[in-house]
Amino acid sequence: MNRHDSLLIQHALEVLDENAKDFKATRSVAVKLALRVLYAHISEPRDLIGYWNVADNPNPTQRRHNLLKVLAVIRAQVGRRM
């Protein structure tokens, strides 16, 4: 993996991390773009879909917990590729 891809992945993970830590986690354009960037670098795309779907949870505490959990799985998958 080249430096450019590595920087893109790092930035995408930061965007998802900021979104997950925010109790108002949303399906923003930034989140959509971050998930799209990670799609090419992850072995299980269903985890990206899971992150997107968890943002709909009406309970902010559960939403935050589940987003952080899915994000940890995504980070692990990306880490294996780097």
**Residue 55, number of CB atoms within 10 A of its CB:** 16
- In this predicted model, what pLDDT tens digit does every residue of 16-31 receive, in sequence order? 999 988 767 678 899 9
Q: Which residues of the chain have pLDDT under 50?
A: none
Phi-psi region for residue 67, left (φ > 0), alpha (ψ -120 to 50) or beta?
Answer: alpha
Per-residue pLDDT, 81: 67
Per-residue pLDDT, 66: 92
Per-residue pLDDT, 12: 96
| Tally of structural domains, the chain | 1
Q: Residue 17 is part of which domain span?
A: 3-81
Model-level pTM? 0.88
